[in-house]
Copies of this chain bind each other. A is one copy, B any other.
Amino acid sequence: MESFHNLPEMKRDAVLNAAFSCFARSGYKKTSMADIAEKAGISKASLFHYFGSKQDLYLYLFDFSVNAVNLAVAEGMGEQSDDFFVRIQQAMHIKVTVLSRYAGMTDFLAARYTEDAPELRDLLERHNEGGTRDALREFFIGIDLSKFKPEVPVAMAINAVIWISEGYVRAGPAHVDADKVTQEISQYLEMLRRAFYKEEFLP
């Protein structure tokens, strides 16, 4: 495991991204170590040399992802605004920043909810109890919902904004520059803000 950390950064990211995308697309059981090794451009034996076993690799990826997301959230979420749109733009910026380096990581984390391999049950359930809480519910506390026009259904508007943000990220294969992508998303959010907010809250 320490041998993996001594790898040059580029090679390390290649291995991580190969593993992320394979596990995310095919799940734990259907992903073979040969698949990951081939996509990463290394030998299968090296994979076992780095991580010991398939299960240990998955566990490492999981911890790595949780830490990376927590770190990105900690340094990306500045002063908590009461404005829905600035807060969701912060969240999308974090997601895009993480995704620009580890393209398959969020899909990997999302896919853990559909994992049914018994060898992972303990680890995943343990993390569900302690860490995750209800992130979505927590995201919306302190938001000033009175900025929305009275005639727009707030719950639907919120769903709309979330689905558009996700739709953009999903559709966008041009993940070259995280800042540029963030800027383009903000254009969509600005359009929605104009459509949903009372005029007194628009610049």
Chain B, Cβ-Cβ closest to A30: B30
Judged by a CB distance under 8 angstroms, whether A51 is at the interface is: no
Find out whether the CB atom of A188 lies under 8 angstroms from the CB atom of B160: yes
What are 17 A-B pairs at a CB distance below 8 A? A26-B30, A152-B191, A153-B191, A156-B188, A156-B191, A157-B191, A159-B168, A160-B164, A160-B188, A160-B192, A163-B163, A163-B167, A163-B171, A164-B167, A167-B167, A195-B195, A195-B196
Give A189-203 interface residues, CB cut-off 8 Å to B.
191-192, 194-196
A82 — which chain B residues lie within 8 A by C-beta?
none
A152 — which chain B residues lie within 8 A by C-beta?
191, 194-195
A122 — which chain B residues lie within 8 A by C-beta?
none
Give A20-53 interface residues, CB cut-off 8 Å to B.
25-27, 30
